[in-house]
Amino acid sequence: MAAAKPLSAFVDGERLWARHMALAAFGARPDGGVDRPALSGEEAKARAQIVAWGRAIGLQPFTDQAANLFLRLEGREPGLPPVVAGSHIDSQPTGGRFDGVFGVLAALEMAEAIVACGKRPLHPVEIVAWTNEEGSRFAPGMTGSDLFTGGKELAEVLAIRDADGVSIGDAVAAVLASDDDVPLRPFGLPIHAYIEPHIEQASVLERAKVPIGIVTGIQGTRRYRVRVTGEAAHAGTALRKDRRDAVMATARMICAMDDAALEPADTLLTVGMLQVTPNAPSIVPAEAYFSVDLRHLNNAVVDRVDGEIRRIVDDLKGPCSVELRQIQHSPSLDFSPDIRRTITKAAAALGVPAMEVYSAAGHDARQLHYVCPAGMIFVPCRGGISHNPDEWAEPEHLTSGARVLADAVWTLASQEDGSSG
């Protein structure tokens, strides 16, 4: 920037930290964690707080039919597409104070810095909080960024229901009704560049003692739901040859899937959910319903294990019937080299150590990657612990992340042409 000081000089680390603690009050758990489901009353309160902070420095809030929240600061050329930064404010039921929140608050701090520096970049900048990133109340997650980028149909997403039967459509309507005069915008506005700051949720940075991760890409994921249907029978009288035991068939399938994912060693296969019906000790189970989460950086590995999983459920179902449904397929991706270079340069200019890392977890930046140059900044989290009340990030690392974001956004928002180089 033309001023003697870079934008990062106006980032206030104490305010950034205080806001993390303030936002953690919405959905606070007694153990210090956060339980703030997507589109819940607690999330609506956190959202109102963010709108209030934004309005206090002249940002204009917008929302859309997915209840994504945007806060806009005009640039010198309002017709230009904005540089957007942010993440999400929903949490897992056993969530922490930093997952998602850091991205939104770092972006807000970037806007605070622009207002404080007294200058405006060429492009507008926007802060975003995407709806339902986590997917724990409404599965699958990332429905807000999916709708914004055209990855899913509105009607299909609005019909998704939580465990109590509440639809996303009804929950979105409630949140929009609670908004204080926040105008609706259409999905899919052009974006000049997108950066998502986030805690790493792994311990590569911590072990390397490096505060900034320049994220190279996101590993591929496939997620499934498997329903194995047998028949309930008396545990004492039903003969083995007559049984259609859904859990025994499921156990065979899960063991075989685990074997299929042994190579290469960094292939990750998780069965994190298993529901048994009727779930009674003396009844041969009539039904088992379970999840499979498969991840690897190399799409060929994911695709090979996918084929194995489909073969396994068919081969091992025995006398039961089986229904396998793939609920998500996200190939591995590489983030924009231009965004990665911009973040690298910003960290180097600040003298903040940085290294390249890849993201093992999915983020909204995946969806944005398909519509604009996108990238991510990671900061360390203690022990790599996340989705856990013990989630912790050091204040100085959050400040470094916000400072790198501020200078990277300033560079991108100052670009004259349509490129992001």
CB of 197 to Zn ion, least distance (A): 10
CB of 103 to Zn ion, least distance (A): 7
The reply to whether 33 sits near Zn ion by the rule CB under 5 A is no
Count residues near Zn ion (CB under 5 A): 2
- Nearest residue to 54 via CA among 70, 40, 65, 75: 70
Residue closer to Zn ion by CB (options 201, 420) is 201
> By CB under 5 A, which span of 67-75, 92-100, 170-178, 206-214 interacts with Zn ion?
92-100
> By CB under 5 A, which span of 10-18, 95-103, 169-177, 264-272 interacts with Zn ion?
95-103
CB of 260 to Zn ion, least distance (A): 29
The reply to whether 100 sits near Zn ion by the rule CB under 5 A is yes
Residue closer to Zn ion by CB (options 53, 130) is 130
Residue with the CB atom nearest Zn ion in the bound state: 100
Q: What are phi and psi of 96, to 5 degrees?
A: -110, -170
- Nearest residue to 144 via CA among 210, 97, 196: 196
Tell me how far apart the alpha carbons of residues 169 and 25 are, in angstroms, rounded to a whole number: 26
Strand partners of residue 280: none
> By CB under 5 A, which span of 97-105, 107-115, 187-195, 409-417 interacts with Zn ion?
97-105
CB of 101 to Zn ion, least distance (A): 9
CB of 96 to Zn ion, least distance (A): 10
Confirm if 400 and 408 have CB atoms less than 8 A apart: no
> Which H helix or E strand runs over 122?
none
Residue closer to Zn ion by CB (options 99, 126) is 99
Residue closer to Zn ion by CB (options 10, 130) is 130
CB of 198 to Zn ion, least distance (A): 6
Residue closer to Zn ion by CB (options 100, 144) is 100
Sign of the torsion formed by the C-alpha atoms of 157, 376, 341 and 115: positive
> Integer distance in angstroms from the first to the last C-alpha of the chain?
16
b or e along 60-92 (b: 16 or more beta carbons within 10 Å of the residue's beta carbon)?
A: ebbbbbbbbbbbbbbbeeeebebbbbbbbbbbb
Tell me how far apart the alpha carbons of residues 108 and 89 are, in angstroms, rounded to a whole number: 13
Provide CB contacts within 8 A for 68, sequence distance 6+. Answer: 128, 129, 130, 131, 144, 145, 147, 148
CB of 118 to Zn ion, least distance (A): 33
Cα Rg of the chain, angstroms: 23
> By CB under 5 A, which span of 94-102, 116-124, 301-309, 399-407 interacts with Zn ion?
94-102
Confirm if 16 and 77 have CB atoms less than 8 A apart: no
The reply to whether 99 sits near Zn ion by the rule CB under 5 A is yes
CB of 361 to Zn ion, least distance (A): 7
The reply to whether 196 sits near Zn ion by the rule CB under 5 A is no
Sign of the torsion formed by the C-alpha atoms of 168, 82, 371 and 301: negative
- By the criterion CB under 5 A, which residues form the site for Zn ion? 99-100
